[in-house]
Structure 1
Amino acid sequence: MEGRDPTMKITKPEELQQHPEYKEALVELLFQLADDDFILAYRGSEWLGLAPHIEEDIAFSSINQDTMGHAAMYYQLLEDIGIGKADDLAHQRPSSERRNAVLLEKVNGPGHYLHEPRYDWAFTVVRHYFYTQAKKVRIDSLKHSSYEPLAQVAVKINMELYYHLMHWRTWFIQLTNVQGEARERMKNAVAKVFEDFGGVLTLGAKGDRMAEFEIIESEETLKQRWVQAMKPIFEEVNLDLPSEFGMKRGNGRNGEHTADLDEAIMTLSEVYRIDPLAAW
């Protein structure tokens, strides 16, 4: 890529064949974006029928449907550049090939959604809010991506993301501002999420190349924008915003995952393994 014009825009998938290093960085980012949304949409869908009230059941289901649709758009971009069929990329890759943040694969709580679920709503609110804010920061950057098809997808996703973010911000503020058990559970959930939130904010080993090729802005820039967006919210609920973000259970961008992801993939891919021609 020596001599690359930093203002260059790649507008068609076939143009990537002339820029192999660019394509490599782009593929890595697309897998991160797709796998993040794919697994979190599944974790959200497990709350169907279990949310705190029926209105939330409907709203959360709609958010999960949107999020799975976003994952599908990213997988389709990968198919368009010759990486494989979108459905195969979503359902047939083992956990070692997944690039989602480990935080997003973590189960909602003890039990199973079909058998004595004892899920943690506080953890779900915090995880979804913090992730959705990080996603909004990335999408705002991707709207100016040097890869035009990705920039166009980002514009589409952004229209839905505004409502997702407002939804989770409202839940976070209301629950954290309530004194007693609710606030304590939210504080515990914040601590639990921050143990692995560094995995959401990182762009992995190829992050520098992604920024160099202007596919997305730098990891540090995105991280600071997330912090700046969250500071006033933490002040409003009278909590301290940690300065360090951990990766206690591993770095999913490097293919490090937990048994939670293996079990989720088995469930998610069950129908596809039975009938690969089925639409998902």
Structure 2
Amino acid sequence: MPEGHALHRLARRQQRLLGGQRLSVSSPQGRFAHEAALLDGMVFRRAEAWGKHLIHRYDDGRRGTAATRRIVHIHLGIYGTFREEALPMPEPTGQVRMRLIGDVLGIDLRGPNACELYTPDDLDALVARLGPDPLRPDADPEIAWRAVSRSRRAIGSLLMDQRVIAGIGNIYRAEVLFRAGVDPHRPGVAVTRDEFDEMWADLLHLMPIGVRRGHIHVVRPSDDHGAPAYAPDRPRTYVYRRAGEPCRLCGTTVASEQMEGRNLFWCPNCQR
């Protein structure tokens, strides 16, 4: 599943490619057909992200309170993808949930967990369920700190809980904990405020790099040597997907286990 930086990068790209254009909207697959008919011919005003959720905003091009506005909520999940095509677009193949055609290109959405019309109240309810998103300027770390400091759940679980911090996935979870030297099994109540602040500041530093570069970059320049990335096209990491390999800093074997159904990676020596 894409982590938060990928959704923010996607929102910025779609805003740049489609913003201000009157779109043709359809659902070749048919599962979004009624909603697509309501959107067809509307102006694409804005794309934005909250954590792992993508929001599209449309209006009918009129000004004032009489204007019709629509909101689309998209959650890609594990299999959802967008594909861009120059115009004229080829006939759709496969399960295209939503097709957007602008002035010079089109975008197909396939396989999302969710693609649905939202009301403003629906969007408010979604945002209320999410923790602060480090990539949004309105993110309030106090909300996340209260959730962490009052919980006996492991910090490794809390960081993956979108109700605590929105947008964090398995890679950022593993790497931020390693960089802070925090054992992922430690209960939230045992994490100090200084440790939390260090991890939050690290997210504010690392996630925008992911947005700019299009991939996660977590290894400090001084540590960027030794073993290669866990796969040729994947980011170099300290511990993520490196089970059984030597820690880049101390040489201890990187450990791995399942935590709440997700693979967890850590260095038993560096993270105490």
Decide: shared fold, TM above 0.5.
no
The structure that is helix-richer by fraction is 1
The structure that is strand-richer by fraction is 2
Coarse TM-score class (shorter-chain normalised): under 0.3
TM-score by length of 1: 0.25
TM-score by length of 2: 0.25
